[in-house]
Amino acid sequence: MIIFRYLTKEVLVSMTAVTGVLLLIIMSGRFIKYLSNAAEGKVSADILLLLISYRIPGFLELILPLGLFLGILLTYGRLYLENEITTLSACGMSDNRLQWLTLGPAAMVAVLVACLSFWITPWGAGQVKNLLNQQESMTEFDVLVEGRFQKLPSKGRVSYVGELTNNRTELRDIFLSEQVKTRTGDQLGIVVAESGRQYMDQQTRSRFLLLQNGYRYEGVPGQANFRMISFEEYGVRLQQSQVREQVTEIEVLPTAELWRNPGHEYRAQLHWRVSLPILCIMVALLAVPLSKVSPRQGRYARLLPSILIYLTYLTLLTSARSGMDEGETGAVLRFWSVHLLFAFIAFNLHYTGRYWHRLRSVVWLWLPIPGRSVK
């Protein structure tokens, strides 16, 4: 029990550190994308933290298996390097015993990933979908930020508002620039106004920005034939915000509903959710024999080949899942055959790894390396 607690603690600490770094990297990239959308006026800046928070469970369900895999490799690599595993082996602990002890923290992580995959991630995806739907119903007026030039998606429009008052219902010091198509070609239209407010047409249900006391300029930059119009009131139609990122209906469905639906896309999502906890167990079976290194090799000797094995595993899984999404015949069998294949590889590494090591050593000795004589 003491050895189990010690190994579990070391593995979980390493896994937490690796997972934290990977999560920070992924969240930073996604947050930069959200900031870009907010700067372009596609989403409101007030919901950025909510969006990234609801996305965290979806990130974790994919990062945790990789974090567990790397945590076992780093932890056991250090223990082999410092001869702690050798000492435990001298005290009677076999490789089978080490494998069974490693399945303890792997089972804990698998339970956590199962909770994320079956319940928490679909709930988070549903919250993201609701937020994005709310953003779709917003107009350019709703995402304006005072004191900043903003490029809006409609007609290449650029806007500037000096001040927003009365709970964002009134604007001061307004500048609008947009491309205008005419019979003679594209022209630049510029509108400058002292104030403005939002107005809804009750018949068409369209919303307009009603500007007051300003000027409109139209013409081609570099030419002198600009046309200037003075106005007391001028209406600009507001288009709805367009959000690039969308969440599919299948992602937000509860697992029980996926089970009841016979569609191949729903079945593919169900099989994927079930396979994520199994992936945690499989990477633990793979990591233990792959982490075995000698003190002369160093703790990182097998890290790169092990990562390549994991990437191959994940690539084959995602490829088989794509086949299930498209309704290909035999895609389900191919999907679960990937797990069986890597279970066989883990079994082979665990029970016949020493024979492969001897074969590799013999091949290495007989390689024609310059400067070394072969006897």
Q: Consecutive 10-residue runs of the chain (375 residues): their mean pLDDT?
A: 90 95 92 80 78 93 95 91 85 87 95 96 90 68 74 72 80 85 77 84 72 87 80 76 62 88 89 95 93 73 84 93 88 94 90 64 55 50
Both 120 and 36 in a single domain?
yes
Question: φ and ψ at 330, to 5 degrees?
Answer: 80, 10
pLDDT score for 86: 83
pLDDT score for 159: 83
Residue 359 falls within a domain, yes or no? yes
CA distance 105 to 66: 14
Both 155 and 118 in a single domain?
no
Both 12 and 111 in a single domain?
yes
pLDDT score for 157: 77
pLDDT score for 233: 86
Q: In this structure, are residues 211 and 193 in contact, taking their beta carbons and an 8 Å threshold?
A: yes
Answer positive or negative: Cα dihedral of 187, 138, 126, 24: positive
CB-CB neighbours of 339 under 10 Å? 18
Both 125 and 145 in a single domain?
no
Distances (CA, A) of 241 to 152, 153, 204, 318, 334: 9, 8, 18, 33, 42
pLDDT score for 246: 56
Domain boundary among 237, 269, 300: 237
Residue 310 falls within a domain, yes or no? yes
Place of tokens 């909770």: 115
pLDDT score for 138: 60
Both 130 and 145 in a single domain?
no
Place of tokens 């490693």: 102
H-run or E-run covering 334:
helix 331-366
Distances (CA, A) of 130 to 47, 70, 140, 352: 11, 35, 19, 52
pLDDT score for 181: 74
Residue 242 falls within a domain, yes or no? no
Both 283 and 219 in a single domain?
no
CA distance 112 to 129: 24
How many domains, the chain?
Answer: 2
Domain boundary among 176, 205, 237: 237
pLDDT score for 287: 94
Q: What is the pTM of this model?
A: 0.75
The residue range of the domain holding 166 is 140-237
CA distance 117 to 108: 14
Residue 250 falls within a domain, yes or no? no
Both 129 and 267 in a single domain?
yes
Sort strands 170-182 and 185-200 into parallel, antiparallel or unpaired: antiparallel
Residue 243 falls within a domain, yes or no? no
Place of tokens 């084959």: 316
Both 272 and 329 in a single domain?
yes
Helix (H, G, I), strand (E, B) or coil at 72: helix
Both 213 and 347 in a single domain?
no
Residue 91 falls within a domain, yes or no? yes
Write 83-88 long-range contacts (CB < 8 A, 24+): 83/295, 88/3
Residue 255 falls within a domain, yes or no? no
Structure tokens at 273: 């959710």
Both 171 and 307 in a single domain?
no
